[in-house]
Amino acid sequence: MRIMCLNGWGGRLHDRLVPYLAQASPDVLCLQEVVHSPQTDRDWLTYRDGAHVLPQRANFFRDVCAALPDHVGTFCAAAQGVLWDGETPLPSRWGLATFVRRSLPVVAQAQGFVHKGFSPHGYGDHPRSRSAHAIRIFDYRTDRAIAVTHMHGLRDLRGKGDTPERLEQARRLLALAAQVAEPGDLRVICGDFNVEPGSETLRLLEQAGLVELVTRRGLPGTRTSLYEKPGRFADYMLVDDEAAVRDFRVVRDPEVSDHCPLVLEL
């Protein structure tokens, strides 16, 4: 089984990203920073937050669904705010999504928040609401259930250091994962955690019996050349049975986001 984790950067590199996902076609795709604007057919809208202005792929979720027709997609909204079509405001939802190959039965799932709750009337003040999604799937090739959980960790304007909010976020992530995992399952937890190696978040997950693969394998980071700020780590992949890992890699070519895809082969 192939599991991919990626922050899609709001679909900003749509022309590279969507063909890459169609070609890679992982069995499970854990995708963060997903835009879903079902009230418009526009391809592109603009996000505005003071001087922070970004192009956003208006129906990024729809685009990935079309690129992966053999998968079932679940969108998990964290907030609904406004994107702009010129000077026209349009409602748009922001969150994460999980795509599972149709041949794999999903036998349990849970969706919840690791920071704050759903923000229905605007994206909210920083640090903003953050959601997570957990699924339990049965893999007939190994005759084993796999519990996969991912989140997009909160962004703190002060940086990626430890905070009480991030520690509580990690506790909530573990609690959500526990809602679907059963004894004997292989557990996988991943996402854009927005923390540095050695953080309290990673320590808590490791104390729960998980092994973090990015740092354990000495990889130099998970950011592409498109990320211009200092700090090369943001994304992590953890498993509770390292012997089940056939391969793990951080994909640096092609560059489809300012984050690298993490690809786990079980």
With 0.85 as the threshold, say if the pTM is over it: yes
Structural domain boundaries enclosing 174: 2-265
15 three-class SS: helix
Which strands make up the sheet holding 262-265, listed edge to edge? 52-57, 44-49, 71-85, 88-101, 28-36, 2-7, 262-265, 247-250
Q: How many Å apart are CA 231 and CA 146, to the nearest integer?
A: 32
85 CB neighbour count, 10 Å cutoff: 14
- Tokens coding 27: 């069995």
Domain total of the chain: 1
The one-digit pLDDT tens for each residue of the chain (266 residues) are 999 999 999 999 999 999 999 999 999 999 999 999 999 999 999 999 888 899 999 999 999 999 999 999 999 999 999 999 999 999 999 999 999 999 999 999 999 999 999 999 999 988 999 999 999 999 999 999 999 999 999 998 888 999 999 999 999 999 999 999 999 999 999 999 999 999 999 999 999 999 999 999 999 999 999 998 888 999 999 999 999 999 999 999 999 999 999 999 99
Contact 146, 107 (CB under 8 A): no
- Tokens coding 189: 């937890």
CATH code assigned at 76: 3.60.10.10
213 CB neighbour count, 10 Å cutoff: 21
